[in-house]
Amino acid sequence: MTTTITITGAGGQIGYALLFRIAAGDLLGPDENVRLRLLEIPQGLGAAEGAALELQDGAFGLLEHVEVTDDAAVGFDGCDLALLVGARPRGPGMERADLLAANAGIFGPQGAAIAANAAPGVRVTVVGNPANTNALIAAASADGVPAERFTALTRLDENRARAQLAQTLGAPVHTVRRVPIWGNHSATQFPDISHATVGGAPVAEALAQIVGDVPTWLDETFIPRVAKRGAEIIEVRGSSSVASAASAAIDHVRDWVQGTEDWTSAGVVSHGEYGVPEGLISSFPVRSVDGAWQIVEGLELSDRARARIDASVAELVEEREAVRSLGML
């Protein structure tokens, strides 16, 4: 079998890291061939074409074909899985409304092009920021494609949260589970340890042995560290997160396609779960069952958790209102 995968912004940093992982079979396994469509803007075509030459030189057995284009109709033709990575970064002096408008001008037309050209079961993952609202705009512009097929990447935040907990607890990261991210992929996000386990035992109890006052440690150390990890990477590395972001995108799409045993996190459309206004693309604890994300329902939320979720969701509402007031939604 062959899966057609479209990557926008394929000439950029995350695109470069993604392409080789996908061609090597990390996304869909060793038995699924892939056809790649690299969609760029004209200025990015050279970098994408160079990456395509390198893909050829990788002699990947699973890679059937690579197409490089700046035409969205070609880029999304027959696409089964779309990774929307290319976005407009915030420039000097750019207000938030300008950033939202510039990205609405990208993700609206891409949503429409997906509806017109992609395969009927297309699944879309938005990486480019502001990821949640970009996903919302793309979904709203994709007539006939269910909003459930549009998601925003918050798996990097979850991976960061699990890794921080594992390090603090001195436990292998794979033993730390159920650490969902709620809300927006932004500084307001809420990495939630209320239901987390380490080796099957509650994380909160294990943490108390190490950090003492758990609520203070969460508020002053853990949550800010996770939420500001992107800035920390920029400071140390001199450039934003690339390979970890690509790896998280692979985790997200692989789990969506292949299913999950336990919870993870993804920005998915709300139907009103946990009081999140309907239609917003918010991060929730999710499971993937039969190729579709399902929000984990019925979790008890403490007042502290509720307040943090409400604050992040309020930011998503503001972003949606800002795009609406510009007439772009």
In whole angstroms, the minimum distance from the beta carbon of 90 to ligand NAX comes to 9
Of 39, 137, 269, 296, the residue at the interface with ligand NAX (CB under 6 A) is 39
Residue 311 has φ and ψ, to the nearest 5°, of: -65, -40
Q: d(Cα 124, Cα 39) in Å, to the nearest integer?
A: 14
Of 62, 104, 106, 112, the residue at the interface with ligand NAX (CB under 6 A) is 106
56-64, 79-87, 161-169, 206-214 -> range binding ligand NAX (CB under 6 A): 79-87
Q: 170-186 burial by CB neighbour count: b if 16+ within 10 A, else e?
A: eeeeeebbbbbbbbbbb
Tell me, by CB under 6 A, how many residues bind ligand NAX.
31
Select 188 or 240, whichever has its Cβ closest to ligand NAX.
240
Does 104 participate in binding ligand NAX (rule CB under 6 A)? Answer: no
Does 43 participate in binding ligand NAX (rule CB under 6 A)? Answer: yes
Of 37, 162, 185, 308, the residue at the interface with ligand NAX (CB under 6 A) is 185
In 43-119, which residue ranges form alpha helices assigned H by DSSP? 45-57, 72-75, 96-117
Q: Is residue 141 exposed (0-12), middle (13-18) or buried (19+ Cβ within 10 Å)?
A: buried
Choosing from 185, 195, 252, 271, which is the catalytic residue? Answer: 185
Q: d(Cα 268, Cα 282) in Å, to the nearest integer?
A: 6
Amino acid identity of 242? Answer: V
Does 51 participate in binding ligand NAX (rule CB under 6 A)? Answer: no
9-17, 169-177, 272-280, 301-309 -> range binding ligand NAX (CB under 6 A): 9-17
Q: 88-124 burial by CB neighbour count: b if 16+ within 10 A, else e?
A: beeeeeeeeeebbbbbbebbbebbbbbbebbbeebbb
- Please say if 252 is a catalytic residue: no
Does 129 participate in binding ligand NAX (rule CB under 6 A)? Answer: yes
Select 89 or 272, whichever has its Cβ closest to ligand NAX.
89
Decide the pairing of beta strands 264-269 and 281-289. Answer: antiparallel
Q: d(Cα 137, Cα 107) in Å, to the nearest integer?
A: 6
Interface residues for ligand NAX in 240-259 (CB under 6 A)? 240-242, 245
Q: d(Cα 203, Cα 118) in Å, to the nearest integer?
A: 43
Q: Would you please indicate which residues are annotated as catalytic (active-site) residues?
A: 185
Contacts to ligand NAX by CB under 6 A: 8-9, 11-15, 39-41, 43-44, 47, 85-89, 106, 127-129, 131, 153, 156, 185, 230, 240-242, 245
